[in-house]
Amino acid sequence: MSMRSEPRGQAAMEFLMTYGWAILVVLVAIAALAYFGVLNPQRFLPETCTVGPGISCDDFKVGTGGDATIVLRNGMGVELDTVTLSIGAVAGTCTPNTNWGAGNQMSCAWAAGALATGSAGSRFSADIVLGYTQQGSAVSHQKTGTLTTKYE
């Protein structure tokens, strides 16, 4: 009776060892892919620029030297005055920043070195804050959004 139970135990052990090695090989392959960045979800995230309802980002770019350009469109239906746009805490130079008519574009720029630098293709993500007053009003408003893109 003892001779029959030993081959069953040996067969079970060989079964577990075979599948154990196969699982180990799969885990090593997954670890290698993760190490080299193939499984990095940041590579597949879309580039986005959102400010808030009524304001659209028509175009945007962040350079490796810390420079940036964002082109916004006023879709609020009213003319805006005293417009400011900041990436993080760094204010950009916007044209025009007064009499920004409904449906018109506005371009804001940051000089080289104003923002964090990075290598081409790496991710840049920051909060953006748009400040403005409506024409004929002294009440200031703020809209906060996000900018996620790759350094170019």
Q: Which amino acid is at 33?
A: L
Is CATH 2.60.40 the right assignment for the domain spanning 46-150? Answer: yes
So where are the chain's domains?
2-39, 46-150
Q: What pLDDT shows up at residue 1?
A: 47
Q: Which amino acid is at 115?
A: L
Do residues 66 and 113 make contact, with C-beta atoms less than 8 angstroms apart? yes
Q: Among 85, 91, 89, which Cα is nearest to 132's?
A: 85
pLDDT tens for each residue of 30-80: 999 888 878 777 667 788 999 989 999 999 999 999 999 999 999 999 999
Q: Distance (Å, rounded) from C-alpha 124 to C-alpha 113? A: 14
Do residues 100 and 79 make contact, with C-beta atoms less than 8 angstroms apart? yes
pLDDT tens for each residue of 73-99: 999 999 999 999 999 999 999 999 889
